[in-house]
Amino acid sequence: MSAAAPLSTQSRARLARGVLLAVALTALNLRTAVTGFSVLTGDAGAELRFGPVVAGAIGTIVTGCFAVAAFSVAPLARRIGLERTAAIAATAVTLGVLLRAVAWSPGVLIVATVIAFSGVGAANVVLIPIVKQHFPERLHAVSTMYMVLLQVGQLSAPLVALPLANAFGWRTAAGVWAVFTGVAAILWLMFVPRSGSSSAAATVPAAPPVSWRTPLVLGLIGLMAMTTLHVYALVTWFPAMLEDAGLSSTASALLLSWFSGLGLIAAFVVPPLVRRLRNAYPIVVVCVVLMGAGYGGMIVAPAAGAFLWATAFGLGVSTFPLCLTLITVRAVDAAGASRLSSLVQGVGYGAGCLGPLAIGAFHQAGNGWDGTYLVLAATLLVTLAAGWAACRPVPSTAG
């Protein structure tokens, strides 16, 4: 294949602006289809006649798709390029969201969820190397923008979805995000011809796998798995937990947004804090204490203290940016970070995806939410053990 002609300075600047806009729009919508639908599950379930098991299965599919994508998307990106892969990902999200909005049965809803979140999972994988490829001199700034916009989309989706559902029905509220992901897909396609050569196979190197048997890698996997379990268990079920405690659907949506919005604090605070600390384990301990307090509070006073428990949960899942930052600082180079990230996210999301489905089955069996809170609190012991191994100062491993 012949090399593409070098771009002029003006063309490179225009390309950078276009790619930055595509990255921003994609990042903004990586979680809207999750939190924007969780507040609609009750209405959708009433119309399509499904219960907690199907709702839990939908939450499980989300993280399951992330796990599969973590292992499968890198070979595709090596073959067709990063931008083309991003375009396919955004198109899949758009089609899945639209199909979910017109779903006529629980089976169709599940198929739509698979399509949409396969696309989201693929975008999760390729956005970071795209940022590294196009913005090497502004990596920290653009990466921070990416994480912040992800959190903004996650927190704003429930606030937008519920009023839309009240005014136009749950289907409109579920499908509105396809407008934005569709625009993102078009943007990626626009910039493929100009940037395809820059993201050819050589920029997404095939590399030997990382050994998962080291304490560091096992710790990172465990930390990611437990964080995923708690995040998506809460994203899937927190509104239902609050409504069953007596709160209105509006109040539940607001608290889910508050829970999600606190991730903005973690996005700004945790990465620089990790780089300053020789051992970041105190962050894990603080997060575990907060999560434990949240689950205990939901048992004792779920309605009266709902704001406090939502705050504890929102800050407690700061182990997510902690885990991503540890992957970066523990790796020797970008290729090592890519391999380590693929393994940790793939296995971590795969293990964590069992949470929403298990909670749905546990609740439907008549065990109530208190039993669920106790089980989730017990898993925090795994978080403590995994965090110790992941945070312990050791020489860089993946490279």
Q: What is the mean pLDDT of residues 140-144?
A: 73
- Mind spelling out the 3-state secondary structure of the chain? CCCCCCCCHHHHHHHHHHHHHHHHHHHHCCCHHHHHHHCCHHHHHHHHCCCHHHHHHHHHHHHHHHHHHHHHHHHHHHHHCHHHHHHHHHHHHHHHHHHHHCCCCHHHHHHHHHHHHHHHHHHHHHHHHHHHHHCHHHHHHHHHHHHHHHHHHHHHHHHHHHHHHHHHCHHHHHHCHHHHHHHHHHHHHHHHHHHHHHHCHHHCCCCCCCCCCCHHHHHHHHHHHHHHHHHHHHHHHHHHHHHHCCCCHHHHHHHHHHHHHCHHHHHHHHHHHHHHCCCCHHHHHHHHHHHHHHHHHHHHCCCCCHHHHHHHHHHHCCHHHHHHHHHHHHECCHHHHHHHHHHHHHHHHHHHCHHHHHHHHHHHHHHHHHHHHHHHHHCHHHHHHHHHHHHCCCCCCEC
pLDDT bracket for residue 332 (50, 70, 90): low
**What pLDDT, on the 0 to 100 scale, is given for residue 389?**
92
CB-based contact 184:122 (threshold 8 Å): no
Share of the chain above pLDDT 90, in %: 21
Angle between helices 41-48 and 106-134 (to 10 degrees): 150
pLDDT at 313 over 60: yes
Q: What is the mean pLDDT of residues 327-350?
A: 71
pLDDT bracket for residue 367 (50, 70, 90): low
- Tens digit of each residue's pLDDT (9 = 90 or more) over 11-35: 666 777 778 888 888 888 887 877 7
**What pLDDT, on the 0 to 100 scale, is given for residue 2?**
42
pLDDT bracket for residue 237 (50, 70, 90): confident
Mean pLDDT over the full length of the chain:
81
**What pLDDT, on the 0 to 100 scale, is given for residue 312?**
96
pTM summary value: 0.72
CA distances in angstroms from 35 to 8, 39, 161, 254, 264, listed in the order given: 42, 7, 9, 11, 15
Q: What are phi and psi of 388, to 5 degrees?
A: -60, -45
pLDDT bracket for residue 133 (50, 70, 90): confident
CB atoms within 10 A of CB 278: 7
- Tens digit of each residue's pLDDT (9 = 90 or more) over 101-131: 898 988 898 899 899 988 988 888 778 777 7
Q: What is the mean pLDDT of residues 331-357?
A: 72
- Tens digit of each residue's pLDDT (9 = 90 or more) over 250-278: 888 889 878 888 888 887 888 888 878 88
**What pLDDT, on the 0 to 100 scale, is given for residue 337?**
61
CB-based contact 344:327 (threshold 8 Å): yes
Copy the structure tokens of residue 79: 């073959």
193 against 124, higher pLDDT: 124
CA atoms within 13 A on the CB side of 396: 14
pLDDT at 294 over 80: yes
Instruction: Choose the most confident range, by mean pLDDT, from 60-64, 85-89, 160-164, 361-365.
Output: 85-89
**What pLDDT, on the 0 to 100 scale, is given for residue 196?**
45
For the chain, the C-alpha Rg in angstroms (whole number) is 20
Exposed, middle or buried, 202 (CB in 10 Å: 0-12/13-18/19+)?
Answer: exposed
Q: Domains, the chain, ranges and CATH?
A: 12-206 (1.20.1250.20), 210-399 (1.20.1250.20)
CA atoms within 13 A on the CB side of 211: 5
Q: What is the mean pLDDT of residues 197-218?
A: 58
Q: What is the mean pLDDT of residues 363-389?
A: 88
pLDDT at 149 over 70: yes
